Amino acid sequence: MKWGRGKRLHPPDGKPAARRRAGARMKIGFLGGSFDPVHFGHLIAAQDVLEQFHLDRLFLVPAAQAPLKPNDVQSSIEDRLVMLRAATEWDRRLEISDYELRKGGISYTIDSVRHFKAQFPEDELFWIVGGDQLPLLHKWKNINELVRLVEFIFLERPKHPVKPHVEIDGLRLHRCDGHLIEISSSQLRERAKNGLSLHYFCPQKVIAYIESRKLYR
């Protein structure tokens, strides 16, 4: 195991994609999740990885259904995409891929990585996970193929030890010391259900959309 530190495929909402320098490989990151709703924890994590690893592009990849979290989605595909776009439309660094949503069914990372590798065959691809996923990584579908296709960046709090995990041959793993915030989408859905404020947890445009659509009630 090697260690290191540090939109959609067509740019959404008119955002220009990063331009490739002649003969240069791009570094492209992918951050998956339910994003139901998207919150500042997601966005800060994306920014931390962008800055520490000097990525050329970063895609947010909303899942249709996460294999290890079968009850993690309540909103429609359309609602989640609208919230993601509302949260990121001003930020030219972030793009949205709706591949997993269009594909439907359980969103296995290996399927998405094969898709993105076909789109970006010459580039360096990085899949971003929380440090809490490390102990489960060996259980991911087709993990031995996955580690050949993509490198992993895991988010952890500064000075916190790496969580124990099973060694995987060929795994290229990079630590990102981030500004991790204790927010989960499930907690925010519960707050909305109970009539509590989402202010300071989500971007204002996302909150306005949730309220206008009466989501999570």
Q: Per-residue confidence at 44, pLDDT binned at 50, 70, 90? A: very high
Q: Per-residue confidence at 23, pLDDT binned at 50, 70, 90? A: low
pLDDT: which is higher, 70 or 167: 167
Q: Per-residue confidence at 11, pLDDT binned at 50, 70, 90? A: very low
Q: Residue 204 — left, alpha, or beta (φ > 0 → left; ψ -120 to 50 → alpha)?
A: alpha
pLDDT over 60 at 153, yes or no:
yes
Mean pLDDT of 20-37: 87
pLDDT digits (tens, 9 = 90+) for 121-144: 999 999 999 999 999 999 999 999
Tell me how far apart the alpha carbons of residues 21 and 166 are, in angstroms, rounded to a whole number: 38
Q: Per-residue confidence at 159, pLDDT binned at 50, 70, 90? A: confident
pLDDT digits (tens, 9 = 90+) for 180-213: 888 999 999 999 999 999 999 999 999 999 999 9
Bridge-partner residues for 60, per DSSP? 31, 96
CA atoms within 13 A on the CB side of 191: 18
Provide, rounded to the nearest whole percent, the portion of the chain with pLDDT above 70. Answer: 88
pLDDT over 80 at 151, yes or no:
yes
Q: Per-residue confidence at 84, pLDDT binned at 50, 70, 90? A: very high
pLDDT of residue 49: 98
* CATH number for region 2-8+25-181: 3.40.50.620
Cβ atoms 29, 18 nearer than 8 A = no
